[in-house]
C-alpha cells in the first residue's frame, strides 16, 4: 500500500501576469528556502503573453495553473486557494524575493500567534531601504480621496523594539493568512477584481476581533522595478484605474453602507467626466472591471 501523503503546512500562492523575469527570481528564491518540503508553491498565470509559461516549466516542484485570459487578480487568487492544501496561505507578488528563512519563520510565527489571522514580514529593497507593506484601513471620511488617488494610506513602521506589532492591514506583496479564515469567508468577494482585496481581508479580520501582525524577525526583499502599467497602452491603464475606483465603491458599500458605495462610484465618474476622461467615465458607469472579457490587456 502507498503511504498517505502528508499535506504541506503552508501553500505559497503567486499570481503573475507578464512578469517572466521577476517570476523566475521569485520561484528560484522559494526553491532555495529552508524546510522546502513543508510547503507547496502554486503559480497562477493570469493569461500572460510573455514567456511566463516557459519560466514556470523550469521549476518542476511548482504547481502551475494556467488561465487562458486575465480574469483579474482576485479570481485568479480564489482559483489558487481552492487548489491549495496548506493550513496557511502565503501570498507573494512576483517582485518579492524571499530569504531562505522567510517561509519557515512566517509559518512558525503564525502558528504561535493564536489571536492573529494574518502575518507579514518586513520588506526591504536590495539596497536596504524599507519597503512598508502595511496600511490604514479606509474610513468613511477619506475613502473618496483614496478612490481618486489610486493608493492606500501608508501606516508608520511599527516600533523596532516590538517583537510583533499589529497593523490594520497588509498588502499582497507578502502576506500569510490562515486558510480556514478565508475558507470561512468563501474566499474573496469577486466583486473586487484587481484591487482592494487586501483591504477587504484586513477589514474582515478586524471585524472578527482578530489581528494582522508584522513579524520583524521575518524578512524578504522587494524589487521595486518600473511599474508594468507604464508600458501598457492607455486603454489598459484606464481600465486599471477604473477597476481601483470600482473596488473602492464595493468596499464602501460593504463596510459603510449602500449609499456610501454609490456616492464613491458617482463621485469618481463625475470627476472623470469633468476632466474629459471619457473612456474612464464609460468604464465607471458600466461597471467594467477586469474579468477576462477585455481585449486591452
* pLDDT tens digits, 183-220: 999 999 999 999 999 999 999 999 999 999 999 889 99
Alpha-carbon gap, residue 132 to 173, rounded angstroms = 10
Task: Give the helix ranges, DSSP H, for the chain.
Answer: 20-31, 52-57, 73-83, 102-112, 143-149, 179-184, 197-207, 234-256, 258-274, 278-286
DSSP label of 130: B
How far is residue 282 CA from its own chain's centroid? 26
* pLDDT tens digits, 232-264: 778 888 999 999 999 999 999 999 999 999 999
pLDDT digits (tens), the chain, 297 positions: 445 578 899 999 999 999 999 999 999 999 999 999 999 999 999 999 999 999 999 999 999 999 999 999 999 999 999 999 999 999 999 999 999 999 999 999 999 999 999 999 999 999 999 898 999 999 999 999 999 999 999 998 766 546 788 999 999 999 999 999 999 999 999 999 999 999 999 999 999 999 999 998 899 999 986 666 666 778 888 999 999 999 999 999 999 999 999 999 999 999 999 999 999 999 999 998 888 777 666
Alpha-carbon gap, residue 243 to 185, rounded angstroms = 22
Amino acid at each position: 500500500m502507498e503511504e498517505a501523503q502528508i499535506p504541506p503546512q503552508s501553500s505559497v500562492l503567486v499570481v503573475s501576469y507578464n512578469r517572466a523575469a521577476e517570476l523566475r527570481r521569485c520561484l528560484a528564491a522559494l526553491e532555495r528556502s529552508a524546510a522546502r518540503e513543508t510547503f507547496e508553491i502554486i503559480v497562477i498565470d493570469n493569461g500572460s503573453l510573455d514567456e511566463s509559461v516557459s519560466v514556470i516549466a523550469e521549476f518542476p516542484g511548482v504547481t502551475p495553473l494556467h488561465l487562458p485570459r486575465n480574469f483579474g487578480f482576485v479570481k485568479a487568487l480564489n482559483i489558487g486557494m481552492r487548489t491549495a492544501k496548506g493550513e496557511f496561505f502565503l501570498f507573494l507578488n512576483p517582485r518579492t524575493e524571499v530569504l531562505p528563512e522567510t517561509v519557515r519563520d512566517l509559518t512558525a510565527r503564525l502558528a504561535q500567534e493564536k489571536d492573529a489571522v494574518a502575518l507579514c514580514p518586513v520588506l526591504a529593497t536590495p539596497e536596504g531601504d524599507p519597503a512598508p507593506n502595511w496600511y490604514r484601513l479606509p474610513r468613511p471620511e477619506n475613502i473618496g480621496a483614496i478612490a481618486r488617488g489610486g493608493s492606500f494610506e501608508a501606516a508608520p513602521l511599527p516600533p523596532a523594539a516590538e517583537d510583533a506589532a499589529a497593523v490594520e492591514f497588509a498588502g499582497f506583496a507578502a502576506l500569510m493568512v490562515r486558510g480556514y479564515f478565508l475558507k470561512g469567508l468563501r474566499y474573496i468577494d469577486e466583486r473586487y477584481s484587481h484591487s482592494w482585496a487586501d483591504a477587504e481581508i484586513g477589514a474582515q479580520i478586524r471585524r472578527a476581533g482578530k489581528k494582522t501582525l508584522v513579524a520583524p524577525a521575518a524578512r524578504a526583499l522587494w524589487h521595486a522595478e518600473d511599474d508594468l502599467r507604464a508600458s501598457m497602452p492607455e486603454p489598459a491603464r484606464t481600465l486599471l484605474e477604473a477597476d481601483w475606483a470600482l473596488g473602492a465603491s464595493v468596499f464602501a458599500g460593504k463596510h459603510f453602507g449602500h449609499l456610501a458605495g454609490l456616492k464613491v462610484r458617482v463621485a469618481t465618474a463625475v470627476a472623470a467626466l469633468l476632466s474629459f476622461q471619457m473612456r474612464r467615465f464609460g468604464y465607471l458607469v458600466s461597471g467594467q472591471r477586469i474579468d477576462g472579457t477585455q481585449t486591452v490587456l
